[in-house]
Amino acid sequence: MQKHDQMKELAARFLFNQADLQGIVRKENRCVIGGAATVSDLAESAVMQEYFPAFRPFLRLVSSTPIRNMATVAGNFVNASPIGDLTIMFLALDAQLVLSDGHTAREIPLRQFYKGYKVLEKAPRRISRPSGLNCLPRLPASTLKK
């Protein structure tokens, strides 16, 4: 566990099953992805398949099936690994994030979320969730490379 000494005294707050953090929908010209959406959710999403058809084959290259079934988009972002498979894709797509503490929220570009190695533009108890990707015309399959 990273930052064990800082985290051991914090109350755990499980977000995986929160309905408002799940799902992938199109709202106007944006693909809105809940922070608890898993890698498998991305791969199976009709919205993502329509606008980003190269995602599904690419996501098969991301970890093993059990991990894809549990790994969330927000978790991938907050882990802040420079080799995060989802992070680099969403950075390339100029994704936006919503940072919320349950009372207030603010939206920032994903590229501004990272201030350095494992240093985030986020208060400790704030939840991050993608707020949207612009739904672009279909991207050719050769656009994404691993």
Q: What is the pLDDT of residues 21-36, one digit of tens each?
A: 788 888 887 888 888 8
Q: Is the pLDDT of residue 136 over 80?
A: no
How would residue 132 be classed by pLDDT, with cut points 50, 70 and 90? low
CA 60 – CA 137 distance, rounded (Å): 22
Element spanning 107, H or E? strand 105-109
Q: Closest by alpha carbon to 146, among 78, 67, 83, 71? A: 83
pTM of this structure: 0.76
- Alpha-helical (H) ranges within 12-143 are 39-44, 46-51, 55-59, 65-70, 73-79, 85-92, 110-113
